[in-house]
Structure 1
Amino acid sequence: MQTITNTATRYGWATIVLHWLIGIIFIGQFMLGFVMVRTQSQRTAFELIQLHKSLGFLLLGLVILRIAWRLGNPAPLLPSSVGALERRSAPLAHLALYVFQLALPLSGWVLVSVSTLEIPSMPFNLFVMPNLPLPESDAAESFWASAHWYLAYAGIGLVALHVCAALRHHFLLRDSVLTRMITPSSAGE
């Protein structure tokens, strides 16, 4: 029977679902952001921006949930084939991913909060998300737009490295690092 929690050798359902859901949304947000700023139609661009903001708030909530879950459910031990350098660098790489997954939606929230356009954020048209209590200005909006852009490209670079590392483990090292994030733990493992 498969479990919701992690074991010493595999991830549980909760971790796996959160990992892949966050990954899909994170990559999707990057692609959506890329498209929305290049769309000629103002109406379409506005709708894409609203969707981008909605998904950003969802991502922020999921990442906070993922971090809370991770704090209560330690990751499985790395296979014995993993070297000492990688054992030390893997936790730092995961920490960097968490930081970027928090920083990106937060920087987007700051961006809409300091915008002089004062367009409300309505996640999935369900409610108005209040702006952060920050002063509005064109200079602040320009700064946070740039910060959000740089964080997005750095974040997608980290995701690309993460994917490459997982593929390296699976195809070159032939260990269980990738498969344990696909197949959940079982009771008694």
Structure 2
Amino acid sequence: MTWKNTAERWGPVSQLLHWLIVLLILGLGAVGLVMTEMRNSPDKIQVYLLHKSFGLTVLALIALRLLWRLYAGAPKPVPGTPHWQERIASLTHAAMYALVVAIPISGWVLNSAAGFPLRWFGLFNLPAIADKSKALHEVAVEVHEWLFWTLIAVALMHAAAAIYHHVFQHDATLARMLPRGWLRVPTPIAKERRDVV
């Protein structure tokens, strides 16, 4: 078994990073929507601290994923995919990478503008990347939220496209981002028989 990506599918390292980042973002989004409604308390402070720490973790993981992709390459498009679909997929991936980087950075900016220290799971402090500013903090909060909702919209389109390819195109687009054997991809012969029936 190779850890790197092949021409046909994503390797286990890319798969692990992909799904780990997806789960973390879903969790961060859910917590982010709830924590602002919490009453002021030590619990709320703890939730905010964890939200920030996991956000920084996503930033580190996406940097790792980009470096791994540079090293391990990426699979070729699934045979038979129209060029316009390849182009949309490339643009969608680029947008998601940019958003997943921008969201934690905007959170870092809003934390810095609020004048709060930024600690990663209580282990060490990270430097402020902006001066304390109420106006900047308010803008950063809005930007952080809008970036999140934009990511959700783009990610839903990405997921819908993968499901469409699996259910209607019967190709390996979705299966190659999952461990072998998790999804059965119809063979061309089986597909032809189904089309005839």
Instruction: Provide TM-score, normalisation by structure 2.
Output: 0.87
Match of 1:187 in 2: none
In the TM superposition, 1:155-166 aligns within 5 A as 155-166=151-162
- Does 2:127 align with 1:127? no
3-state secondary structure, aligned to 1:80: coil
Alpha-carbon separation, structure 2, partners of 1:101 and 1:62: 10
Alpha-carbon separation, structure 1, partners of 2:122 and 2:174: 37
Match of 1:35 in 2: 34
> RMSD across aligned C-alpha pairs, in angstroms?
1.2
Structure 2, unmatched stretches of 5+, are 181-197
1:6–1:15 contact (8 Å) kept in structure 2: yes
3-state secondary structure, aligned to 1:122: strand
Match of 1:147 in 2: 143
Q: By how many angstroms is 1:103 displaced?
A: 0.2
1:36–1:45 contact (8 Å) kept in structure 2: yes
Q: By how many angstroms is 1:64 displaced?
A: 0.6
Q: Percent identity?
A: 34
Q: By how many angstroms is 1:59 displaced?
A: 0.4
Alpha-carbon separation, structure 2, partners of 1:89 and 1:130: 37
Aligned partner of 1:130: which letter?
Answer: P
1:16–1:181 contact (8 Å) kept in structure 2: yes
Q: Which has the larger radius of gyration?
A: 2
Q: By how many angstroms is 1:41 displaced?
A: 4.5
1:107–1:147 contact (8 Å) kept in structure 2: yes
Match of 1:103 in 2: 102
Alpha-carbon separation, structure 1, partners of 2:41 and 2:141: 18
Q: By how many angstroms is 1:44 displaced?
A: 2.2
